[in-house]
Structure 1
């Protein structure tokens, strides 16, 4: 199925390996109950956030193509976002962190297509359209912040992750799907929670991606800006949580200056945050991110980077100083104080500037790749910088036998068949037949009977990062998680309740003449504990100055509170907002 791009050029330029995560929005799936949940959360957000959000909330929503009244349509969002060089695409719940970061690098907000159930109206453990759109999108209109988001995505795309990171992602995704599914059993949820706790308890040293995720959490999701004594909210997790956006501002929640020390604070997505970080401005966010990026393998390369690639047990890319990129699953080669010989197992691809070299894809190098790293013995310059006179001096000539003895003791002997040179750098020399040995241990690393040998050329490994250099070429046919979000099927009770919410919605829009008294009686007779239906009706009764009915509804809501204490704040906030004519006037402008 072709991805919908909504006429937005930002979405058109997404690569295929990212497009496979995009799913249709299916706007018709949103029920009248879903619309009521959106409307309740957004009205509560505005009532509170207009005073403590960093940016003007309503103008920010409008810039992103959002309204208080309706779940956003991706077409409207993209019509607005493309004016500021961004786009939005719907995905199925959590996607892998590396993919999320890469979408961000391409200036695309990923929006979970589903919306939370009433039971999780204050906070949901799963990504949903409320969090992604009302939290992230409105602040994109701030140029400095938008630039930070894109830069964070570019850094995150290069981050090394561990095998445990991927296990953790799958466990979180599975649990979030179960928690938002009305058909999930308590035992299923408890089992999934137990597995998540077990993985979290055995993560070992945090990877680059895990540490980077902390910076993302304490800024993009839960960030405050201003001063420690007078902060404002800009983090999407707070902006989209009607519970935590209020509780987080209490004085007993520590507010710490944002520095690289935020890396020392892990987080739990299922609990309120025990502390928050305050940045003085958005420039500081970039400065801290750069401090961390300077310690990452994609910037330092070398032995440390290679060791991380081997330890992560996932597809990685190393970059030679010649610019040649090797993408594969790295295993221990020969490394002492420096790297002497690299080795991959399984499908491997060679690339330059993130484009696969012709004839050097993973099908050709299906069984792995190996090559020396370093300078030729007795040479005063890097091998990749050899000119014609250097080649003659070392006897390197097409269709002639050559001997390459590296300072490390690796010896490559064979007939040169071709030489790949780009931007005045030698990158690859193909030999057949060929023998490669470690002269110090007399270990045979490649035998002539094994066929053609492709020798990478480069004095150093200058960069190491997770994933393939040319993702389009390498990741063809790679599938997304088989664990899909569960689409809820409404039973007869659910259908009847949705019909009731549809009547309330039509009445608000002036599309139905049904009386509010009739609606109230329908709720009382059929869904007597549905607090949100009462709140929606109370708002209409107050607007129509139906004082007697409004008092009846309010009394009924107080009765629900007496039986369900956990609903107290939700209901009281709903009553207060329904009776607040000033908010109603502001929202109607």
Structure 2
């Protein structure tokens, strides 16, 4: 599966090291899944428990992502392990290939109720189950395919890194208060300095309020649907309370920002799965990949990242569209020397004529494609320093729609020196060396000894080499990334950050052995064996040690299930523990369902 993904996604995929999960990690999984399944069987969307079964997820121990992948393949999906909080754009692109990224890490026992960082409980127990629901699965795939076209900005990348760093610090046992405070301060600074909200950011909000935090059904009595709620014991319980505002799901949800490290003050309720699809479709109508034109070009320039501009001929230009000059009438007098200075040095991207783009310039490696396939001889190594072209009508003619005979009548023929007078007053003078057609449409005219002028302003000088004219009259679409991602071999916008598990001390390792011994007793009980002697022996071993509430809770559960005489003693020991507010809450929740096998 990994081999079939674009190269820029592969660095985010890691290997799940099952041997690195400690017996305590597995106990954390059991506690979380027991709490969640008990609460969610009556409060989640009815499909949830069925989805857990279909994706091969059990309460007993942390699942192998390979086994989840095997189960998902039966319903047209795959799963792959990743490390921590990966870029939302990467998460969405993987989903567009029907791949669910699953964070291989698991939350610490200190964050068992709620973790600020994605983990295997969130992905496997939250996202995976509803992939088996066709309507919801279709929504996720539609969303992912739309989201991967939405334009990112350079500011999005900076914001992502700050959120990732803060969430990792909040989850890590080794973080100091000072480190967390500094990370929070850096995040606030980035948010304060954000100059605009990108398409991808707006769509990220929609994902947050649907796939992550949606409620479902009757707004007065909703059930839980979003993975963030399904995987958070605290938020699953609190989200249905009256103090959390419930809002009918509409495109207005994209106007609500969110904080990944905190519980959410309001939630959106999808009336049904059709509501999800309709909201997505309504929002997507205004994405620049669907509307094109000047707005699309402006947003590509604002992005400062590699995007694809598609002309009405079908030619796709992938690169960084740089700064612009715009004017109402594109008169030479109104532009004056600034145009000569900027375009003479090729420092500006495009001119507008009556708010219609007539000249585009891309900076840095640029790829030319058609139908998402790179054109031979027009890769980013050929156009390594950039690419520029006029677009528009020539004598009221759309050259992409002309036949070879009509081109010949216009003196556009290989070997002929020709003059093209664009309706925008741009003039191109050069010798035709090649005409590139696809599906009977002219896409490119290549010239030598070519000069491109806007009145007396030089846009392209013959000394700069060969010139490839992109044929088209208007920008039909702009979408994120290169058209042919495999051929472009994109650089990674944000380097992956891999979370390293802290090595356990000798004392911790000895402590984990007790967890493992208890787990084996648990397995023996589930196989209908008598475990009374085992429990009695284990209790004698641990009762005088300073132990965590979680291991004692697991011992208590087994003592109830097996009707062991040590039951009152274990409960007494649990009640004598000096616990903080978080651990008291956890223990109370654990005791409340201890009888449930």
TM-score normalised by structure 2 residue count: 0.92
In structure 2, the residue matched to 1:155 is: 146
* Structure 2 residue 74 is matched with structure 1 residue 98: no
The change in CA–CA distance for 1:435 and 1:566 in structure 2 (over 3 A counts) is same
- In structure 2, distance between residues paired with 1:27 and 1:353: 42
In structure 1, the residue matched to 2:175 is: 184
* Structure 2 residue 376 is matched with structure 1 residue 358: yes
In structure 1, the residue matched to 2:572 is: 555
- In structure 1, distance between residues paired with 2:380 and 2:590: 58
Q: Choose the corresponding residue for 1:570, options 570, 573, 586.
A: 586
RMSD between superposed Cα atoms in Å: 1.7
- In structure 1, distance between residues paired with 2:319 and 2:294: 17
- CA distances 1:365-406 after superposition (whole Å, capped 9, x unpaired): 1110000111112x2x42210112321221111011011111
- In structure 2, distance between residues paired with 1:15 and 1:401: 42
Q: Choose the corresponding residue for 1:492, options 506, 510, 513.
A: 506
Gaps of 5+ in 1: 6-10, 585-589
In structure 2, the residue matched to 1:519 is: 538
3-state SS of the aligned residue for 2:524?
coil
- In structure 2, distance between residues paired with 1:34 and 1:464: 46
In structure 1, the residue matched to 2:252 is: 261
In structure 2, the residue matched to 1:26 is: 17
3-state SS of the aligned residue for 2:351?
strand
In structure 1, the residue matched to 2:460 is: 446
In structure 2, the residue matched to 1:465 is: 479
In structure 1, the residue matched to 2:70 is: 79
- In structure 2, distance between residues paired with 1:521 and 1:390: 96
- In structure 2, distance between residues paired with 1:420 and 1:303: 26
In structure 1, the residue matched to 2:31 is: 40
In structure 2, the residue matched to 1:374 is: 392
Gaps of 5+ in 2: 325-349, 526-530
Whether the 8 Å contact between 1:112 and 1:128 is mirrored in structure 2 is yes
- In structure 1, distance between residues paired with 2:114 and 2:440: 56
The change in CA–CA distance for 1:189 and 1:101 in structure 2 (over 3 A counts) is same
- CA distances 1:323-343 after superposition (whole Å, capped 9, x unpaired): 111111111221241101000
CA displacement at 1:201 relative to structure 2: 2.2
CA displacement at 1:482 relative to structure 2: 5.0
3-state SS of the aligned residue for 2:37?
helix
Q: Choose the corresponding residue for 2:432, options 395, 416, 420.
A: 416
Whether the 8 Å contact between 2:309 and 2:317 is mirrored in structure 1 is yes
Task: Give the aligned length.
Answer: 565
CA displacement at 1:532 relative to structure 2: 0.5
* Structure 2 residue 448 is matched with structure 1 residue 432: yes
TM-score normalised by structure 1 residue count: 0.93
* Structure 2 residue 357 is matched with structure 1 residue 342: no
CA displacement at 1:137 relative to structure 2: 0.6
In structure 2, the residue matched to 1:587 is: none
- In structure 1, distance between residues paired with 2:586 and 2:98: 35
Q: Choose the corresponding residue for 1:228, options 219, 231, 243.
A: 219
* Structure 2 residue 548 is matched with structure 1 residue 534: no
CA displacement at 1:314 relative to structure 2: 0.8
Q: Choose the corresponding residue for 1:298, options 289, 301, 309.
A: 289
- CA distances 1:449-472 after superposition (whole Å, capped 9, x unpaired): 111001101111010112111111
- CA distances 1:91-128 after superposition (whole Å, capped 9, x unpaired): 11122222111111111110001111101111111110
CA displacement at 1:570 relative to structure 2: 1.0
Whether the 8 Å contact between 1:181 and 1:486 is mirrored in structure 2 is no
Whether the 8 Å contact between 1:174 and 1:192 is mirrored in structure 2 is yes
The change in CA–CA distance for 1:96 and 1:345 in structure 2 (over 3 A counts) is same
In structure 2, the residue matched to 1:391 is: 407
- In structure 2, distance between residues paired with 1:483 and 1:16: 17
- In structure 2, distance between residues paired with 1:192 and 1:477: 26
- CA distances 1:42-98 after superposition (whole Å, capped 9, x unpaired): 000111000011134332111011111111112221221111101100011122222
CA displacement at 1:133 relative to structure 2: 0.5
* Structure 2 residue 419 is matched with structure 1 residue 403: yes
Q: Choose the corresponding residue for 2:188, options 194, 197, 207.
A: 197
- In structure 2, distance between residues paired with 1:40 and 1:498: 16
